[in-house]
Chains A and B, each alone.
Chain A
């Protein structure tokens, strides 16, 4: 009995062995035909990238950006979440010069909280701002304002955006924000903008309606009274009223904060205090949601 088992086992081993060798040869031949040449630097670059696949570099993900870099088709400083650290690593791997990096952050340009504005109708549907916008511009009285359904907060790949339950507005956790631009792309009202961190003064309103309609919609909406323009110390004014809305010129604004003080509806925000306090915080005191 046992010798039968041994012979059959041996025969099976031989049969399988031959089959395996045959298949191995076929695969080896196929490998020669289907070889894909991969630049070794591409793998190292891909490891240096944050791997968030946010797309702010303009490519379809970190792998695509690494490929373009390895082929020499992309600049080294396009990775916003990576920041200057990653730009340096890429330059070291590729052997190229590092370009200057300007830190940016997402700014929510609306102060239409539950207190400041009201709803025209009750919205029952997909809990997504884009869906709500498709329904008569959304439920808020101001057609340009935040709908508080949290699409931006859910879209953020870095958990740097939280919905404030008391006000209904999204709050940017600036310590975590990498300025990848996902929230800005996703907001159907284009309320969120990616702006330089060094610029502290921004008009937190997007309402283009005349003052009469704006006052009906929101307590803190810009009424285009031109007070900010008159008080600006910069030659030719760094803030201009265009289309019933005050807009800060990033190039000329010196962030002095004068316009913030004179605005009668308090729609201009000054982030100087917030960011300088954030700068003073140590690593273990980082802001949490």
Chain B
């Protein structure tokens, strides 16, 4: 299936928004959206990590995990290591992806701590939580989904773009959520619903609204 930039963009930002349609990445979504400034910073960090993580994991997938095909050779096979029939996909996919993402997040933490210490302190614990964030791991896995391209997964540039758009969708959802929560904080909310419960209800209503984007321009998923 030939996937283009536009389909990927609309698909990842609106139709299959990572937070509101796929329900991934709730931890920073509810944890950092109390203030809009925090959510913008977190959103930018996630965009950065998702783009790089998609690119890096696709490289790993195509060159280290897939069996040798006419399009790409398995580097492990080149080094002389034995490669099973279906490649190392089933064995090493999860753990190698997590490794790559963890390293990337560490790198982002170092850069932020040096260049924007205020943002680093504001994000606090949520920055290392991007590592275990299912949204980042999710986009890495989804780039290699069968429906996108049966044998190879997305090519690197498209995978990076998909990660970028996924991150943008994440940031969009967080911006919307934080603008709602900033106003909710001042209104009469019943005591039992104050804080997280009303945030969940709002997120549910937002997800309902985003369902209106299904099959936008004829694009599925």
**Which residues of A are interface residues toward B (Cβ below 8 A)?**
4, 7-8, 11-12, 14-16, 19-20, 23, 26-27, 30-31, 34-36, 63, 126-128, 131
Contact = CB atoms under 8 A, between A and B. Distances in A.
Contact of A16 (B96, B107, B111): B96
Contacts of B91: 8, 12
Given A23-B103, A26-B103, A34-B113, 5 more contacts: A11-B83, A12-B92, A23-B99, A30-B107, A127-B188
A126 B186 contact: yes
5 contacts: A11-B76, A16-B95, A19-B99, A27-B107, A35-B114
Q: Which secondary structure dominates chain B's binding surface?
A: helix
A263 B92 CA distance: 84
Contacts, number: 55
Contact of A8 (B84, B103, B111, B187): B84
Contacts of A19: 60, 64, 96, 99
Interface string B157-196: 0000000000000000000000000000011100000000
Contacts of B92: 12, 15-16
Interface in B98-117: 99-100, 103, 106-107, 110-111, 113-114, 117
Contacts of A15: 64, 76, 81, 88, 92
Contacts of A11: 76, 81-83, 88
A63 B122 CA distance: 11
Given A12-B91, A12-B92, A30-B110, A20 B99 contact: yes
Interface residues of B, number: 26
B121 interface: yes
A126 B82 CA distance: 69
Contacts of B107: 26-27, 30
Given A16-B96, A34-B113, A36-B114, A128 B186 contact: yes
A127 B121 CA distance: 32
Contacts of B111: 34
Given A27-B103, A126-B186, A34 B76 contact: no
B76 A7 contact: no
B186 A34 contact: no
Given A14-B81, A27-B107, A34-B111, A126 B88 contact: no
A127 B186 CA distance: 8
A230 to B, nearest CB: 47
Contacts of B83: 11
A84 to B, nearest CB: 28
When A and B form their complex, which 10 residue pairs have the shortest distance between CB atoms, in order from nearest?
Answer: A11-B81, A34-B110, A34-B114, A23-B103, A7-B82, A15-B76, A126-B186, A12-B92, A36-B114, A12-B91
Given A8-B84, A11-B76, A126-B186, A16 B113 contact: no
